[in-house]
Amino acid sequence: MKLEKYYENQNILHINTTPHRAYYIPKGKNLESRCLSLNSTKYDFDSWKFKFYNNPYEVNDNFTKGELEDFDTIPVPSSLNMLGYDKHLYANVKGPIPFIPPYVPDENPTGAYVREFHMTEEKLKFRNFLNFEGVDSAFYVWLNGEFVGYSQVAHATSEFEITKYLKLSNNVLSVLVLKYSDGTFLEDQDKFRMFGIFRDVYILQRPYEYIRDFTVRQTLSDDFKQVYINVGIIWNNEQRNLNIELFDKGELVYSGPSIAFTVENPKLWSAEEPNLYALKLITPDEMIELEIGFKKVEIKNSILYLNGQNIKLKGTNRHDSNAYTGATISKEQLIADLKLMKEHNINAIRTSHYPNSPWAYELYSKFGFYVMAEADIETHNTCEIYGGGHVYNNNVQFADDKTFGMLCHDPSYYNALLDRIQACVIREKNSPCVFMYSLGNESGYGPNLEKCAQWIKDFDKNALIHYESSVYQKIGYKNDITNIDVYSRMYISPDQVRNYCEKDVVEKPILLCEYSHAMGNSNGDLERYYETMQEFDTYAGGFIWEWNDHAIYMGKEINGKDKFYYGGNFNDFPNAGNFCLDGLIHPDRKPKTNLFEFKQVHRPIRAVLSDGKIMLTNHQDFVNVKDYYTIEIAQMINNEEVKVQIYKDFDLKARETKELKFEYTQDSSSNNYILIKYFTKEATLILPAHYELGFDQILLSKVPTPIHETEMGNTIELTISDTKIVASNNKFIATFDKLKCTLENFVKENVSYLTKPLDYNTFRAPTDNDRKIIADWRKAGYDRTCIKMLNTNASSSKSGAKIEFEFLITAVFLQAIMEVKAVYNIKNNGDIAVDIHAKKDPIFPELPRFGVRLFLDKNFQNVEYTAYGPYESYIDKHNYCYYGTFKDTVSGMYEDYIVPQEHGSRYGAEYLKVCNGKNKIEVQNDNNFCFNVSNFTQEQLNTTSHNFKLKKENFVTLCIDYKNAGIGSSSCGQAKLYEPYAVTDTDIDFSFNLFMS
């Protein structure tokens, strides 16, 4: 088939499409539907015929008439890759095609769609408009054999008037979709690259004279007691009679022909109180209804305000991505995600990096989310061309750019960039949830985007504009960032945020459009970001990267595990590997502990103990605690509730602090703490009543967990050879390996507790956040250490025995990493006190961890511990946990990351018991330790690419750690873990007690 190559001409973006307009679905005056959906349904699942081609040249010319041979039937909307057409490819910065804009490969995957639909005489009385809400990336349309038009821009609406092409009864629609176009160079987003008709398709019936577009402008009085509304109407031709009605939850507020009117005492819209009004535009022939919200967004003194209140963005970036449906997202899927977000205290969404389905903004407005509406622009691939690039520097206002912004400087791409920004701004201009527009993502900067920003300001003088890549400045050019309203950065540390906010002159509020990369076991240090946000009004908050892991569901493994594939699993090139697994939730939508941490850090209320008083602070921006929350407080002594009190009407205004009166008992002889939980008071549109949104724990006192003393045995006898030391009596036999300087085995009352010798441990299965330091760790030999014995000593007395080892921990071809002295003091009942002193050579890098590993019989599956739980916890990621005593199983403590890695640690432990139902091993350290128990070794986790490939070992690995390094979020951006969370010690003193019975 010979096509006009519009798809390789950046000056031809659309043919016969209507101008961009606000989103609406009109109805008849009697509320009858004027929308004919062409989506597949369960009743006509086979309504779309389809055939896949390797390129458009293979398509038969008769296709334009709806003729297809050997066709399939497929659901529409859908992502073709998810249906088995074309291969999956996950790319990030490196584009999937050669960078020779506007030209694309001749082998250009092509989808041919045919859909028949019926038109009645009644429908033919109207003007009819065919709408595509999302087609990736370019497409041609024919109706009844006649060419209708062409369009491109994957994530925005394309509308064609088809009135003159329609006929009575049966009509045949033919759509040819190309995977690549010149628009592909503007759509280099970090995602699986899919194509097809992936969003809704429908036909609108309109009268011959109709409202083509409208803009709702609002001006709030300084005291927010009045709102002046002006509805700007654009008619397609002649103006008709118009009546405007405004309703507040069914109650008429205004009715009349005037497009300008005032509402007294309006209920304002915010994410905390998403008050909406129903606006109806009624003409003689149809009605347009939409929900609007009254709000005022502004920046004053470099502070972001909504309705006069300095607000904080507790947000996430969100892609259209689902492991089962690809880029095709239904309303039900989105609502489920929004419910999860609300459950975890997320209040803002950045539509990364393109407009969402238009109905998504209705849901965002209804449920209460601040939305940064981002245009469908990313040209990250420009920094990958040979000889190109840019300088990434977090500490300067402008970073040098070689080629990153080349398309922003190319005049031939101005119209395409402006079109994409207009498609976003014009369609979403009436959406209450939108507080800011974004010019796109990671495309450098230059005169094209400067003019686009000016267009937005001319279109709406009150609009706020975001664009992080404005910090990249082409050498020899001076950026004009006058119209960029916020200083936006990615992945800078809390300290760097602080440095900006503490400057003598802060010109713009700082906003982190991406931060705390949620890849794998991640999102350490969120608390410091939050504390900084609360300290500085000029820090508006930010958006976690990102909401969910991108992956492709590939069925079940023989062991019953779900299989999720990522980049590189499909022989795709280029690919960015598992860099797509960077979400707060797993591909199956189960929350990671990352999301639990976010929820707790961003809880709506916080409590502290000050001078013996419990002081509560309302961290919400608008609402009073008494109207929305119930507070439940309990005092726990030795894990028993001794007092409970419920506050259903605690009067605490937004940002206010007040004492919560609660008479508690001081008991320093017990584990004594107060647990305060915050619940929804009543059901909301999306959350049930009495849903927990966070908690605070106030520790009053801690005491050591008592250990049941076992009966003493006889005096210990020592048997010493060149390689072994055996300490034994009538109760136990402890065998030590002199060459490896370790406890080799321990047998007590005929039970053998160790399957392998105790191991001195300096390594962990790298997390995704360890990817930048792992090379240093491996270079230092931490993953392959060996022991060089220097000296041993053994002695006994009436009360026990002492075994001492002096040794070096080193690695092949390297010098000694550390000198160690390990002392094992054994009581006559077999209890062992272990004291380890290590001195690390400071030339070596920080350690992943330091401790010991014990390898227990596989039946030791039951766990009880006193530490931060009940979830995995680390020094910089344990806010969502509380200190207490918990029971679990080894399998239950496994965190199922798609790419196996370090997981399941428990921080701040002072007691641990692992048992098999009859026998147990107990560990105690009053100065706290960390531990892991796992059915998988760190070696297997380190070398296994997917979780479903893991195989349980024939033993349980127990790690007892002096320290386990923090988690951080260094997989993107920040290269180093915050030093207090790293294992930087050069002198280590580590003691713990082992009890086996």
Q: Which of 187, 343, 428, 442 is catalytic?
A: 442
Residues with Cβ within 8 Å of residue 611, at least 6 apart in sequence:
none
Distance of CA 96 to the CA centre of its chain: 24
Handedness of CA 891, 895, 898, 899 (dihedral sign): negative
The token pair that represents 690 in the structure block: 């009495």
Alpha-carbon dihedral 407, 411, 412, 417, rounded to 10 degrees: 60
Please choose, from the candidates 584, 580, 616, the residue with its C-alpha nearest in 3D space to the C-alpha of residue 597. 584
Q: Is the peptide bond before 632 cis (omega within 30 degrees of 0)?
A: no
DSSP code per residue over 99-128: SBTTB--SS--EEEEEEEEEE-HHHHTSEE
Residue 514 is a catalytic residue: yes
The token pair that represents 299 in the structure block: 């920046």
CB 251 within 8 A of CB 215: no
The token pair that represents 871 in the structure block: 């979830």
Q: Is the peptide bond before 509 cis (omega within 30 degrees of 0)?
A: no
Q: 3-state SS of 677-730?
A: EEEECCCCCCCCCCCEEEEEEEEEECCCCCCCCCCCCCCCEEEECCCEEEEECC
CB 678 within 8 A of CB 692: yes
| CB crowding 344-367: b at 16 or more within 10 Å, else e | bbbbbbbbbbbbbbbebbbbbbbb
Q: Which of 428, 514, 846, 910 is catalytic?
A: 514
Instruction: Give CA separation, 990 vs 22, 196, 766, in Å.
Output: 65, 59, 23
Please choose, from the candidates 270, 320, 312, the residue with its C-alpha nearest in 3D space to the C-alpha of residue 293. 270
Report how far residue 311's alpha carbon sits from residue 880's, in angstroms, rounded to the nearest whole number: 24
CB 968 within 8 A of CB 770: no
Please choose, from the candidates 336, 329, 328, 341, the residue with its C-alpha nearest in 3D space to the C-alpha of residue 369. 341
Q: Is the peptide bond before 257 cis (omega within 30 degrees of 0)?
A: no
Instruction: Give CA separation, 253 vs 247, 262, 714, in Å.
Output: 5, 10, 91
Count of Cβ atoms closer than 10 Å to residue 240 Cβ:
15
Computed over its alpha carbons, how large is the radius of gyration of the chain? 32
Report how far residue 936's alpha carbon sits from residue 889's, in angstroms, rounded to the nearest whole number: 14
Helical ranges in 721-864 per DSSP H:
774-779
The token pair that represents 174 in the structure block: 């033919």
Count of Cβ atoms closer than 10 Å to residue 8 Cβ:
16
The catalytic residue positions are: 442, 514
